[in-house]
Structure 1
């Protein structure tokens, strides 16, 4: 009977972990040591930082959305758990597929890609009105965008 109880106990523990979704959370950027995995530049302007969290827990960091898109567009297979960008105004982490983007070649970003991200359309539209220029883009748009000299 004792063996059966022990077996049942460990079976319940093993099954408890099955079927749970993994939480692939962003990690804070340390500008003193973190560098972009594409261009190797220091990530000093943390409000522009982006991250890709792989299913094995590895976190790939980037100093600019454009660098992350370059990484995502590489042909090799990647086991991506989640990708994150930051709201350029608040610095809050946003899931890549939930963010809104504005593009203008003259917007300042660390690698001059000119793409900034926002949590909501109101903030994006206000930013574009203040700048007097820009184009709203979605994730598909920026994945297909011709980055010019960066390609």
Structure 2
């Protein structure tokens, strides 16, 4: 009887370890863009400009890369995208252009932002980072919800 109990504990432990390992293996992680090589998932143009790149990561961890916010919005409009997907976009104000949460980013729209698909939106990690350009360009600050209301 004691042997069955130990086997049951052992099997439960193996199951739990396997379950948690599978959970971590499927976590939606950022996949760096290989500029000059990766193609936009929507328009198929080669992603070149680090200032405007974007990425959508599904809950299962599949990454879709885009050359700008407009392509990501068009892709989302044309495809069934889980609301739990991660949306990331390059921070225009940081010279290294790290990816930030697109839903929390602040956006400016101006023709001076020469984006690949002519959407002319630039993303910023905070209002503080966007305000100098906002004032200079005489533009208002936008949020992700504002971008989703446009018809790309």
TM band (smaller chain) = 0.7 to 0.9
Large movers: runs of 4+ above 3 Å: 14-20
**Aligned residues, how many?**
144
User: 1:125, 1:100 → 2: CA distance?
Assistant: 10
In the alignment, structure 1 segments of 5+ residues that lack a partner are none
What aligned pairs does 1:92-111 form with structure 2 within 5 A after superposition?
A: 92-111=98-117
Q: CA deviation at 1:14?
A: 4.6
Match of 1:134 in 2: 139
Secondary structure at 2:51 match in 1: helix
Task: Answer with 1 or 2: which has the greater Rg.
Answer: 2
CA contact (8 A) 2:106 2:127 kept: yes
The structure with more strand, counted as a fraction of residues: 1
Match of 2:81 in 1: 78
Asked whether 1:48 is paired with 2:52, we answer: yes
User: 1:27, 1:18 → 2: CA distance?
Assistant: 19
Match of 2:69 in 1: 65
Q: CA deviation at 1:133?
A: 2.9
Compute the RMSD of aligned alpha carbons. 2.3
User: 2:28, 2:15 → 1: CA distance?
Assistant: 26
Q: For the structure 1 residues 58 and 126, does the alpha-carbon distance in structure 2 shift closer, same or farther, using more than 3 Å as the test?
A: same
TM-score (norm 2): 0.81
Secondary structure at 1:85 match in 2: strand
Secondary structure at 2:86 match in 1: strand
In the alignment, structure 2 segments of 5+ residues that lack a partner are none
Asked whether 1:35 is paired with 2:42, we answer: no
CA contact (8 A) 1:35 1:41 kept: yes
Match of 1:144 in 2: 149
Secondary structure at 1:72 match in 2: helix
TM-score (norm 1): 0.82
